[in-house]
């Protein structure tokens, strides 16, 4: 598991960058735009690019053959570009340059996000993937804590500081991952044999061929729970500022409680998913987070709010740690990158759909509708999970009993 921990630094850089982006970029946009729905749309416009790029790059990385491996070339190009563009965001000179830096930064991140995620199952046998996902999300969660906690302190000193630090961290994480993860040495083939050399270009993996009933309903469930999560994450700082009367720093710091609980329960959630089954843990998480979001809508006291966010982070760990390994487990080893792209396709669709939709509801009603809308989306995700059939048994793959 040493290699998984090292790979976790890639997730760490992604997590800290996205968390800072979602927490503080709305405040930049608020200087130029006064509609919450329009701010939400601008926060998601980059996902239209990711919607097409991430599935294509995930699929293409399955067929990439270089001396650095299948996935690493995408990290070596995308991470430096993303680091520089992240640092440029707070130095915008107007709405046009702000949107330009936002889109270019997210385009750069789209180049390496799917390949980074696909590296985990590449170097980990199926039986250990929920545990491995817990480990790397543990580091990703620490990134979120630093973004919301330390980031809020840095933002108070200077709005540019969190973004500069995030860019430098991304460059450091690239050095660690590229230095210590060697795909052709550390990979597994069907969960059993080491990959020693790529001698031929793999055949093309069909997206349509991956869409059996199990996968379709699983992807639908993922879409709806990300609608809930993405909307809350993107709009929470504005919710805290305008609905609860919190300062910008206090609102972003409150999200630290959600991230802290996620970090603390990431590894146990992976273990429980391997022991009792991924789907069971996901259902528990969806039910729990649906209840938490419903209660947050009534919370006015800051202590109660942060306590509920703490509980919500535990349930989100049950969902998030087990969902990606579950998507991979319903396919073959040869389709890991393709299915990773599909996973991010539906999450990008949710990121595009959710904040503008919830922002429009806020414009029509008020901020109190945010968490009730998120709870309804979680309920639809639960329905999709119940409509799934049993897990498909793909050929040429090594399986664990905990799917």
State how beta strands 193-194 and 188-189 pair.
antiparallel
Q: Specify the residue for token string 């080893």.
A: 333
pLDDT digits (tens, 9 = 90+) for 162-182: 999 999 999 999 998 888 887
Mean pLDDT of 55-62: 80
Decide if pLDDT at 399 tops 50: no
Per-chain mean pLDDT for the chain: 82
The two tokens of residue 88 are 């440029």
130, 327 Cβ separation under 8 angstroms: no
Asked which of 60-64, 149-153, 236-240, 393-397 is least confident by mean pLDDT, the reply is 393-397
Asked which of 11-20, 208-217, 286-295 is least confident by mean pLDDT, the reply is 208-217
Decide if pLDDT at 333 tops 70: no
Greater confidence (302 vs 49) lies with 302
Mean pLDDT of 91-119: 89
Alpha-carbon distance of 7 to 94, in angstroms, equals 37
pLDDT of residue 392: 47
Decide if pLDDT at 233 tops 80: yes
Asked which of 131-135, 192-196, 225-229, 364-368 is least confident by mean pLDDT, the reply is 192-196
Considering only CA atoms, which of 161, 184, 215 is closest in space to residue 72?
Answer: 184
Q: Specify the residue for token string 């060697």.
A: 182
Decide if pLDDT at 296 tops 70: yes
pLDDT of residue 191: 39
Q: Specify the residue for token string 């630094």.
A: 9
pLDDT of residue 403: 46
Greater confidence (154 vs 11) lies with 154
**What residues does 188 pair with on adjacent strands?**
194
pLDDT of residue 98: 94
The two tokens of residue 186 are 């550390």
Asked which of 16-25, 26-35, 75-84, 339-348 is least confident by mean pLDDT, the reply is 339-348
pLDDT of residue 314: 94
Greater confidence (208 vs 238) lies with 238
Asked which of 221-225, 292-296, 330-334, 384-388 is least confident by mean pLDDT, the reply is 330-334
pLDDT of residue 55: 78
pLDDT of residue 127: 76
pLDDT of residue 396: 41
Residue 366's φ and ψ, nearest 5 degrees, are -160, -175
Confidence of residue 1 (pLDDT cuts 50, 70, 90): low
pLDDT of residue 402: 41
Say how many residues make up the chain. Answer: 403
Q: Which residues contact 262 (CB under 8 A, 6 or more apart)?
A: 137, 141, 144, 313, 314, 316, 317, 320
Per CATH, domain 2-189+206-386 is 1.10.1040.10: no
359, 242 Cβ separation under 8 angstroms: no
Q: Specify the residue for token string 């980990």.
A: 124
Alpha-carbon distance of 286 to 45, in angstroms, equals 27
Considering only CA atoms, which of 315, 350, 40 is closest in space to residue 224?
Answer: 350
Confidence of residue 228 (pLDDT cuts 50, 70, 90): very high
Q: Specify the residue for token string 């000179």.
A: 93
**What residues does 194 pair with on adjacent strands?**
188
Mean pLDDT of 210-227: 87
Mean pLDDT of 227-254: 84
The two tokens of residue 127 are 């039986």
Per DSSP, the three-state class of 172 is: helix
Confidence of residue 222 (pLDDT cuts 50, 70, 90): very high
Alpha-carbon distance of 347 to 217, in angstroms, equals 14
Mean pLDDT of 273-285: 91
* Rounded alpha-carbon distances, angstroms, from residue 297 to 55, 300, 375: 35, 8, 9
Exposure string for 217-242, b = 16+ CB within 10 A, e = fewer: bbbbbbbbbbbbbbbbbbbbbbbbbe
Greater confidence (61 vs 44) lies with 61
The string of DSSP codes covering 203-250 is PPPPSGGG--HHHHHHHHHHHHHHHHHHHHHHHHHHHHHHTS---HHH
Alpha-carbon distance of 327 to 226, in angstroms, equals 15
Per DSSP, the three-state class of 193 is: strand
Greater confidence (76 vs 331) lies with 76
The string of DSSP codes covering 50-78 is HHHHHHHHHHHHHT---TT-SSHHHHHHH
Q: Which residues contact 62 (CB under 8 A, 6 or more apart)?
A: 70, 202, 205, 334, 335, 336, 337, 338
* Rounded alpha-carbon distances, angstroms, from residue 10 to 2, 110, 290, 306, 336: 14, 13, 30, 28, 18
Considering only CA atoms, which of 184, 195, 255, 290 is closest in space to residue 22?
Answer: 255
pLDDT of residue 186: 61
Greater confidence (393 vs 336) lies with 336
pLDDT of residue 381: 95
Alpha-carbon distance of 247 to 240, in angstroms, equals 8
């Amino acid at each position: 598991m040493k290699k998984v921990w090292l790979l976790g630094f890639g997730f760490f850089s992604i997590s800290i960058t996205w968390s800072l982006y979602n927490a503080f970029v709305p405040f930049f946009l608020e200087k130029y735009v006064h509609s919450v729905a329009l701010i939400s749309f601008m926060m998601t416009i980059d996902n239209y690019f990711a919607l097409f790029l991430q599935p294509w790059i995930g699929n293409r990385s399955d067929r990439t053959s270089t001396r650095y491996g299948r996935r690493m070339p995408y990290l070596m190009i995308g991470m430096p570009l993303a680091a520089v563009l992240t640092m440029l965001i707070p130095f915008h000179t107007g709405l046009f340059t702000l949107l330009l830096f936002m889109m270019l930064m997210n385009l750069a991140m789209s180049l390496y996000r799917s390949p980074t995620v696909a590296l985990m199952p590449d170097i980990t046998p199926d039986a250990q993937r929920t545990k491995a996902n817990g480990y790397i999300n543990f580091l990703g969660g620490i990134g979120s804590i630093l973004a919301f906690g330390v980031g809020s302190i840095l933002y108070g000193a200077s709005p540019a500081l969190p973004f500069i630090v995030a860019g430098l961290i991304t460059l450091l994480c690239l050095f660690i991952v590229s230095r210590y993860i060697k795909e052709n040495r550390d990979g597994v083939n069907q969960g059993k044999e080491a990959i020693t050399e790529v001698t031929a270009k793999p055949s093309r993996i069909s997206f349509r061929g991956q869409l059996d009933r199990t996968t379709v309903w699983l992807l639908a469930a993922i879409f709806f729970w990300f609608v809930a999560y993405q909307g809350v994450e993107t709009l929470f700082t504005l919710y805290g500022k305008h609905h609860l009367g919190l300062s910008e720093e206090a609102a972003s710091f409150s999200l630290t409680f959600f991230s802290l609980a996620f970090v603390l329960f990431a590894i146990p959630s992976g273990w429980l998913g391997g022991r009792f089954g991924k789907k069971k843990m996901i259902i528990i998480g969806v039910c729990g987070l649906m209840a938490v979001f419903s209660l947050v809508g009534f919370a006015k006291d800051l202590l109660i709010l942060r306590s509920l966010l703490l509980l919500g982070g535990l349930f989100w760990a049950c969902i998030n740690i087990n969902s990606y390994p579950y998507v991979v487990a319903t396919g073959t080893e040869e389709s890991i990158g393709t299915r990773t792209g599909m996973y991010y396709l539906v999450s990008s669709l949710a990121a595009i759909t959710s904040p503008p939709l919830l922002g429009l509801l806020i414009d029509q009603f008020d901020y109190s509708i945010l968490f009730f809308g998120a709870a309804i989306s979680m309920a639809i995700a639960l329905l999709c999970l119940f409509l799934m059939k049993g897990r498909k048994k793909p050929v040429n793959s090594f399986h664990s009993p905990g799917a």
